């Protein structure tokens, strides 16, 4: 009866976000087409996937590359942040300055990516072992944001630590905030865990109770109920859906309903498959039909999880090469015709 409304605004520096449901950066998925779809289903803020500061600087003035296409604001996307990775404060500053024309609402610094190539370069989760370098990156990007990007906030996304013997999210977060970060997202796994095992939400609760800036929780958010539990148990300011949103952008509206004390129902199969098709059409506008059809396969498969006849659709989607073939497959399934 006495439902506490856990759907709340979040303030990131001077930026006010009306709600606390975030789309996490997910490489290979959170391109502008998917971000647009998530915004339409209620994501309050979304992040691009990680983008290499070195690559941005190297390819500057060579036309809009595929990477840069990922960075353009999506249709209907009211608020979004671009996530950069790198280890050199000067390169990060130059890359940040190049993002002026995209007019993002925030810049995020990746301090969690476990991929060996990224870590070897001193970036991503290597930064949790080197908080002073993270601080140097943050302050150099903050300076550029103040002088060139209208004072937009800088945020960081960190992990709990390098491994279970070196849990140091407090130190990492403190270094980032002292250097000027306006929000910290914490993925409660260590680098050693990769994406397996469990995200330790007690770390999120602990950090949320200590930091003056908002903490956004990440890890193991697969259902609206997970979001409710994380907000209730940890006191974090917001939650960030990652794998839970893939093929399921509807999770945002469902979670919003649940957090505000209302009930929710999942959309009918027809709506789900039409949404997948819409995402493909948006993607095709950016990258052309042929590449969009290839890139969309894994995402379209995710949309068919758990629906009647889903297996059959998935088997055929992997061969689909045109939007017309997708349309035929997605909209003529026995379930979607009802």
Residues taking part in catalysis: 113
Site for ligand FMN in 183-212 (CB under 6 A): 187, 195, 199
The H or E element containing residue 46 is: strand 45-52
Least distance (Å) from ligand FMN to the CB of residue 33?
A: 16
Site for ligand FMN in 265-324 (CB under 6 A): none
Strands 154-161 and 215-218: unpaired
Among 81, 244, 247, 249, interactor with ligand FMN by CB under 6 A = 244
83 is a site residue for ligand FMN (CB under 6 A): yes
**Cβ distance to ligand FMN smaller for residue 102 or 270:** 102
| Nearest alpha carbon to residue 216 among 254, 183, 174, 256 | 183
How many residues bind ligand FMN (CB under 6 A)? The answer is 22
Least distance (Å) from ligand FMN to the CB of residue 243?
A: 3
114 is a site residue for ligand FMN (CB under 6 A): no
Least distance (Å) from ligand FMN to the CB of residue 41?
A: 17
**Cβ distance to ligand FMN smaller for residue 71 or 242:** 242
State the Cα–Cα distance between residues 145 and 141, nearest whole angstrom. 6
Binding segment for ligand FMN among 14-22, 56-64, 171-179, 217-225 (CB under 6 A)? 217-225
Among 13, 19, 25, 238, interactor with ligand FMN by CB under 6 A = 25
Based on the number of CB atoms within 10 Å of its own CB, is 116 exposed (0-12), middle (13-18) or buried (19 or more)?
exposed
104 is a site residue for ligand FMN (CB under 6 A): no
Other C-beta atoms within 10 Å of 252: how many? 26
CA distances from 283 to 33, 40, 50, 204, 278 (A): 5, 15, 18, 34, 9
State the Cα–Cα distance between residues 224 and 241, nearest whole angstrom. 10
State the Cα–Cα distance between residues 222 and 3, nearest whole angstrom. 22
50 is a site residue for ligand FMN (CB under 6 A): yes
Residue position matching structure tokens 């969009």? 292
Least distance (Å) from ligand FMN to the CB of residue 331?
A: 28
242 is a site residue for ligand FMN (CB under 6 A): yes
Least distance (Å) from ligand FMN to the CB of residue 185?
A: 7
Site string for ligand FMN, 118-157 (x = CB under 6 A): ---------------------------------------x
Alpha helices in the chain (DSSP H): 32-40, 53-58, 66-71, 89-98, 116-120, 131-148, 169-178, 201-210, 224-234, 251-259, 269-287, 289-303, 310-317, 323-331
Q: Which residues bind ligand FMN (CB under 6 A)?
A: 24-28, 49-50, 83, 110, 112-113, 157, 187, 195, 199, 218-221, 242-244
């Amino acid at each position: 009866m006495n439902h506490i409304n856990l759907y709340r605004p979040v303030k990131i520096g001077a930026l006010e976000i009306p709600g606390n449901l975030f789309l996490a950066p997910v490489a290979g998925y959170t391109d502008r087409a998917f971000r647009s779809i998530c915004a339409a289903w209620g994501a309050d803020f979304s992040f691009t996937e990680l983008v290499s500061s070195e690559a941005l600087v190297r390819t500057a003035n060579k036309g809009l590359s595929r990477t840069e296409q990922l960075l353009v604001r999506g249709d209907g996307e009211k608020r979004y942040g671009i996530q950069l990775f790198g280890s050199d404060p000067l390169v990060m500053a130059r890359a940040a300055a190049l993002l002026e024309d995209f007019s993002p609402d925030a810049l995020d610094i990746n301090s969690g990516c476990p991929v060996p190539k990224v870590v070897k370069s001193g970036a991503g989760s290597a930064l949790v072992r080197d908080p002073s370098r993270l601080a140097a990156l943050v302050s150099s990007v903050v300076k550029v944001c103040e002088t060139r990007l209208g004072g937009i906030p800088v945020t960081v996304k960190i992990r709990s630590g390098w491994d279970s013997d070196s849990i140091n999210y407090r130190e990492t977060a403190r270094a980032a905030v002292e250097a000027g970060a306006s929000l910290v997202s914490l993925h409660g796994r260590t680098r050693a865990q990769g994406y397996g095992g469990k995200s330790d939400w007690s770390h999120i609760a602990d950090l949320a109770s200590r930091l003056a800036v908002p903490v956004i929780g990440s890890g193991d958010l697969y259902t609206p109920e997970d979001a409710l539990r994380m907000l209730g148990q940890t006191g974090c300011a917001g939650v960030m859906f990652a794998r839970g949103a893939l093929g399921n952008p509807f999770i945002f509206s469902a979670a919003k309903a649940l957090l505000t004390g209302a009930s929710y129902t999942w959309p009918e199969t027809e709506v789900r498959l039409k949404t997948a098709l819409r995402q493909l059409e948006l993607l095709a506008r950016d990258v052309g039909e042929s590449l969009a059809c290839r890139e969309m396969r894994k995402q379209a498969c995710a949309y068919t999880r758990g629906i009647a006849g889903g297996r059959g659709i998935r088997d055929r989607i992997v061969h689909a090469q045109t939007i017309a073939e997708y349309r035929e497959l997605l909209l003529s399934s026995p379930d979607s015709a009802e």
